[in-house]
Chains A and B, each alone.
Chain A
Amino acid sequence: MNKTWLVLPLAGALLSACVTINIYFPAAAAEKAADKIIDEVWQSQQGAAKPGDKPAADAQKEETK
């Protein structure tokens, strides 16, 4: 019976610690998400207007090789 009183608060403490972990801000994932959005917002006008440009440029590169 003694042990129950010891274990219960311990379990409570552990649980609250886990809740803390659970709402911890995922900085690495947020950084990745930010980079993705920044890429889209700052992409050059040509890139946005003509998405077919890049493959053509790649093909040209291969031709010159």
Chain B
Amino acid sequence: MKPTNINDPEYFHKVVDCQHACPAHTPVPEYIRLIAEEKYTEAYMVNWDSNVFPGVLGRTCDRPCEPACRRGRVEEEPVAICRLKRVAADNKGDVKKHMPQGPFKSNGKKVALVGGGPAALTVARDLAPLGYEIHLFDEQKLGGGFMRSQIPSFRLPETVLNEEVNFILDLGIHTHFNHFVSSMKDLMAKEYDAIFVGTGAPRGRDLPDLPGRKEGDANIHIGINWLSSVAFEHTSKIGKKVIVLGGGNTAMDCCRTARRLGGEQVKVVVRSPFSEMKASPWEKEDAAHEDIPIIDNHVPKSFVIENGKLKGMMFDKVKAVYDEKGKRQLVSAGEQEVFIEADDVLVAVGQENSFPWIEKDLGIEFDKWNMPVVHETTFASTHKQVFFGGDAAFGPKNVITAVAQGHQAAISIDLMCKGEDLNVRPSPFVNLVSQKMGIHEWAYDSAVETDKRYAVPQAEKKVTLTNRKKEVELGFDIATGFKEAERCLNCDVQTVFATDKCIECDACVDICPTACITFTENAEENDLRSMLKMPATNHTQDLYVSSELKTNRVMVKDENVCLHCGLCAERCPTSAWDMQKFFYNVTKAHSGCASHK
């Protein structure tokens, strides 16, 4: 193999598994260390810069970082990254003074944001400090978009959401709430320099062709509309027996909300096998904890109506069959249809985009699925001044993805307004600093704790099920938060190898607790992987290969289960190994990056 190019920031970035997996590339180990040091305000600001909604995300994030966490490859469970973020948010001090302080000097440009969700708010936050005049339009009376209408208060208290939305609106955003934008043409006529569309995926899928759908309409509700109606307090009751159709996180929010509005026998019924449900495992656990059975492998066949009133639903039992390509098919088990009683049915079987308000003759192209044609890195549409982000761009994903896309769209808008090339993206901010302080001393806490993952305490079910707004999770207290933070392996403190200093004494090989390091003859990657002290079987993890040493061998380090404990560097007599803290931060529009790329 060729020597690894560690000057490419993407190499070490990939070693920081959590950060690499995060759509917004939040510097996770950096803020976890700050939490361990009780520097909650600083930890919050690292998050705020990167993901804009630390308090919201610390409760509701889809946490792509956690399955990626190295700890999960070393022992059973990853670090509770998401809930540590909440520790920072819960215990922060005065953060506002660290945020950009308006009023900002105008740059004479005007930007319209359609939708008040995470993507649009991110664009607002990134552009306002640069002097843009931002106009935000949303049909609801408050900002937050789906964070407000879809995420129930028992998971995300309104106060938390309001605080973080207001941090942005306080930057001098012109808000136009209760204002449904019904025509893009009209909006364009108002001579904005740029328009950002962050309208989400607002249409819940229905089951229009199922027998009885029309007759039972009074008691059949579309999940996201129903959640929204609960959030804005138009709905406060539901029947005692409720069926929730669907296996995603919206279904989990629906069933748990139903439990709080009077649903006593709430059942989730899903087509697929339990293990293949789209809902996050922890959301399924939370539903189970609230006595909600999840009935899998049941395909809805019809609504049962008696005397014009919904009585329940019929289901066909199926089993999953996979063809040789692994493609799943749900095949009827050939049993008698199953009847499940219900007073109300919530349909949470997916949601889709909908752009009835964008006229087709404006130069904004749509594809055959009626989705706008959007550039994957610039988020530009086919119209020079119109940009898309969040669920509106590529379909329903999650808050953190919307934020990441908002950052990129903001950069594009800034570049476009300056007349620069959208495809020349700003480089990330990168830093690499030695952590050595003495023979046994590092500037980071290198000891590896063996604690198992701590569970987040929850409020009593008695209380939470009777009060829709009572938050279920209590969050880590400071002491537990510290212990959980100590589980982080500091993967951003990189093992950096200097070939010219190495005397090939094998000290690093002998000391490495997880047998990551091998000195061997060089070979092609696949051969090299099998030649190591412990074969490198995880191909998603890179090999760090040095240039040739005096003995014509190379140093090969399998990044897979490195604990970043620093023992290789500590036992190295010549400092050929060094532990260096790698800081990688995605450049945002407001960091002024675009002008010095």
Q: Is chain B a partner of chain A in the same complex?
A: no
Interface residue ranges, A against B (CB under 8 Å):
none
Interface residue ranges, B against A (CB under 8 Å):
none
